[in-house]
Every structure is written in C-alpha cells, then in structure tokens.
Amino acid sequence: MSEQHKPTPVSGESTDDTDIAELFRAEIEDLLVQLNTALADAVLGMDDRPALTTGANAALEVLQEPLPGTGCGAQKSIEKLLEINAKAAANTGGPKCFHFIIGGNTPASMAADLLATAYETVTYTWVVSPVGVQMELQALSWLKELFGLPSSMSGIMVTGATMANFVGLASARQWWGEQHGFDVSETGMAGKPQMPVLTSGFVHASTLKVLALQGIGRSNVQQFCRDDFGRLDIDAMRQALEDLEGQPAVVIVNAGEVNSGEFDPVNDMINLARDHNCWVHVDGAFGLFARVSPRVAHFADGVERADSVTVDGHKWLNVPFDSGYAFVRDIGLMARAFRYSADYLPSENDPRPTLGAIGPESSRRARSFAVWATLKAYGREGHRRIVEHCLDIANHFADQVRQHNSLELMADVPLNIVAFRFNPGGLGEGELDGLNHRLGEVVIADGRFMAGTSRIGKRTIFRPAFSNWRTRKKDVEEFAEVVVELGNRLL
Ligand SMILES: Cc1ncc(COP(=O)(O)O)c(C=O)c1O
C-alpha cells in the first residue's frame, strides 16, 4: 500500500469515528516487516543469549502502568515488548536451559506453530477446521507409531502432561464408576466408595493435582515405597491389591522420574494390575521417549499394554509450548467423561469428529500443526536422533561430573537427567545440603545457565535435564565449570 493511502495507525491520535478494521488492515502490513526482523533476532540469537537475563525484576517494573486510554498502536507496542523482553528474557529454548524438563523447538515445528496462530485455526470440531482436526488425528496416529502404542488407542492433544494425566485419569475414573454400576460424569462422587489409586513414590506432582481436582484427594493416593527415593515396594502394592478382593482400582506407573530419570518397573506393575481388577495409567511425560531409541527402549517396555498413557510434546518432541498428548484405550470412556453438548454445538451423532467432546478443552488451538510438521519433516529417524543426541549430552555431562574433584554424581543416569551435587570435600551431609541449596539460587541469579535443585531422599541435588537439540557438549562442559566456580565462591 502506498504511503499516502495508509490510514493513521491506531494510536493516541485515533478518533472514535475511525474505522478500526480499516486501521488494523493497514497496520498489519508494517507489522509483518517488523516481525520478520524480530523473529530472525529471536531465533538466530538463541544460541548466544544467556539462559536468564540478570536484572529482570528492575526491568519489569515498567509493566506497572495504568491501562492505556487510546493505546500507542501495534508497531510501538511490539517495539516496547521487544525492549522489555530483551531486558528480562528467559532463554528457555536456548542451549543452556536445563531446568525442569524443557525441550527446544525443531525448525519445522516452530514455523508450523507460527502459522497455526497466523491462520487462527480453531480445532474444536471438524466444521470450524477440517484441517486442524484431521491433522491432529493424523499426528496422533504417527505419535502412536513413534511410541509403539496400539493403533486402536484413541488420543487427544492437550496443553501438557498435567492435562494428559487429567484425561487418562478422568477416563480411569469413568471406568471405575462403571465397574460399580454408575456414571461418575452424570452422578458425581457423593456417597460413592473411595476410588483406590496405587502408585510408587515416583508419582509426579501433576498427577496428585489432577486427583485432587477429580475428587479423589491427594492424600488418598497410596504410594508404596521401599526406600526414601520412592522406588516401588511391589510386595506392599500386591498386598494392598489383594486386600481389595477384586474391587476396581487404578494403578499409576511412572515411566520417568523427574530427579534422576529412573522408571517404575513397568511390566511388573502391569502384570500385577492385570491380575487384579485395575486400570493402568502410565505417566510417560518425558520417559515415553525412551521408546524412540533402541538404546533405552527397554526402560519403557510394556507401556503398550496400558489403558491410558501420557506424553509431552513440549519436552522431548521439541515442539513449541504448549503441547501434550493423552492416549486412551477406550474412546467411549473419553466420550462419556468429557461429554459436551448443547443445541448450538455439533450433534453427538455427527460422524465428523468433535475433538472438544473427547477432551477437557472446547476451544483449542491447532497444536497439531507443529506436531504434524515436525514428524513430516524429520520422521522417526530424525526424532530418534534428537533423543539420542540428548542421551549423549547427558552422558557427556555425567563424565564431566565424574572427572571433577568437586562434583559428585548422585544417581545412575538411565536417560536424560543427571543428579549431582557440588561437594568440595570435608563437609557433612547437612552442610552439603545447605550449600547446594544456596548454590542453586546462585546459579539461577548468575543467569549463564538455568538449572534447579531438588532432593533424592534427604539429599539436595542439582538435576539438569537435557531435552533440547540445541545443547552442545561445550555447553555442558561450561556448566560443570560454572557450578564449581560459583560453588567455590560460597565456601
Ligand atoms: C513425569 C511428569 N509428569 C507430568 C508433568 C507435567 O507436565 P506439564 O508441565 O507439561 O503439564 C511433568 C513435567 O515435568 C513430568 O515430568
């Protein structure tokens, strides 16, 4: 559009009688040019930016201002956003973020996700987006192939593993009610028996949150532990199941524990569950990716026998946040648990799929674009290589720890997490815990790397998790040096 035909941008000067739609249409053209540069900076600068910008708190004070009356227009608002972000950014997609379990973005998934936003694709039902719905179904089908899950399982994309656990356990609860002869989603739980939920001490906090929300109650979850790390006491679990005398129950298998990457004994737990009247839910948020590499697939052997399975895409699939997947053996249970109908919505008998009626979210973005695009772009082989790259990085870092006099490995490294601590020698266990706890805060404040502390049993540890294709061997070598440098400063 030529300069003289451009309407005034939406800004302090705009008046009530200006056509807002006309202004927006004109604004978008300039914005795309601005965005081109901004995206290049954001993505190409990722390797070099620190994990966490220091001084973020002070920089964020500018956010505290009253709601603008007329606004400054898109271009200035985006300029301001970039300025604030530059001063306070967390580079969680960069190669030096090992906190929680945070993946990167494959190039194809990043591009596809931007397009999902640009096209404003809504993936509630076929009628509003045939492409969003069909791409989700296809991507879920590919994911089942990637993870070796039965093709007969149904799936749904959700925000992450928390919501995938929600779907799996809502389906389990529906099954449990039906075993007792009632429909939980219709009648609720009042006056009903307690749903038994059995697991190990590896159970993730998100699962407890989900069970709290579903009326089961966090403290009703029975954790059978044989040590203070939380490893399963299978004999105690067997006894508890025998005591139920065939009453339906739910067994949660934790395929990947967040502090060391260790697994519950999947097959043993499923064998036990099958001998008793149990639903088996597997939380494989990141651990399910073991099945993508023959080097570690044995840890998650047996998951294909589960009734419901959780896995996260924004972790090791390396697709943008937010993206998680639930797979459930019986789609009827999902449909009854998440039933969603009203006169203005698609009929429950419509053969065209309504994904909003088999999962928790009604309006949903097209997470499928990113998942489909990355699987199309890199296939099974490319994703095996991402997983194995991260396994190699974890092993390389574990070697750094072993070689360093002041670092101590605190657990085996089965997968992509390395539990270790700073141990300069001569300190008691309590002192080491305090030192590593303080060091955890210092590492975060330093900003060069992002990694957190946790506990294995009573001991305070660092637990860097490697699930981003961007991380290089030199990054983890530097991380070991930085931990020692900062640790020595605390002595
Ligand atoms: C084993 C496990 N389950 C569930 C979750 C929750 O995942 P999300 O944050 O994607 O909801 C996590 C996150 O780290 C996890 O590791």
Same domain assignment for residues 327 and 350: yes
Are 298 and 395 in a shared domain?
no
Burial class of residue 249 (count of CB atoms within 10 Å of its CB; 0-12, 13-18, 19+): buried
Among 321, 352, 377, residue at a domain's last position: 377
Helical H runs in 152-245? 161-179, 184-187, 205-213, 234-243
The CA 285 to ligand 1 mean position distance, Å, reads 6
- Minimum CA distance residue for ligand 1 atom 7: 161
Q: Does 58 reside within a domain?
A: yes
Note the pLDDT tens digit of each residue in 276-302.
Answer: 999 999 999 999 999 999 999 999 999
Nearest CA to ligand 1 atom 3: 285
Note whether residue 308 is domain-resident.
yes
208/303 same-domain check = yes
CA 258 to ligand 1: nearest atom? 16
Does the Cβ of 24 fall within 6 Å of ligand 1? Answer: no
Report pTM. Answer: 0.96
**Residue with CA at minimum distance from ligand 1 atom 11:** 162
Q: Is residue 430 part of a domain?
A: yes
Helix (H) or strand (E) holding 439: helix 429-446
Which of 449, 446, 451 minimizes the C-alpha distance to 486? 446
Per-residue model confidence (pLDDT) at position 18: 73
Q: Which domain holds residue 71?
A: 3-88
Domain check: are 62 and 163 in the same one? no
Kindly state whether residue 94 falls inside one of the protein's structural domains: no
Asked whether residue 119 falls in the same domain as residue 164, the answer is yes
pLDDT tens for each residue of 373-429: 999 999 999 999 999 999 999 999 999 999 999 999 999 999 999 999 999 999 999
* Residue 354 Cα to chain centre, angstroms: 24
101 lines ligand 1 (CB under 6 A): yes
- Residue 204 beta carbon below 6 angstroms from any ligand 1 atom: yes
By CB atoms closer than 10 A (0-12, 13-18, 19+), residue 454 is middle
Of 470, 350, 400, nearest to 106 by C-alpha is: 470
Q: Tell me, what's the pLDDT at 16?
A: 59
Any ligand 1 atom below 6 A from CB of 89 = no
Clarify whether residues 367 and 399 are in a common domain. Answer: no
The pairing of beta strand 324-328 with beta strand 154-158: antiparallel
The reply to whether ligand 1 has any atom less than 6 angstroms from the CB of 104 is no
How far is 412 from 417, CA to CA, in rounded Å? 9
The one-letter amino acid at 470: R
Domain end among 31, 58, 88: 88
pLDDT value at residue 194: 97
Low-confidence ranges of the chain (pLDDT < 50): 1-5, 7, 12
pLDDT value of residue 11: 52
Question: What pLDDT shows up at residue 79?
Answer: 97
- The amino acid that residue 217 corresponds to is G
Residues 358 and 390 in one domain: no
Last residue of one domain, picked from the residues 88, 121, 153? 88
**pLDDT given at position 60:** 95
Residue 97 lies in a domain: no
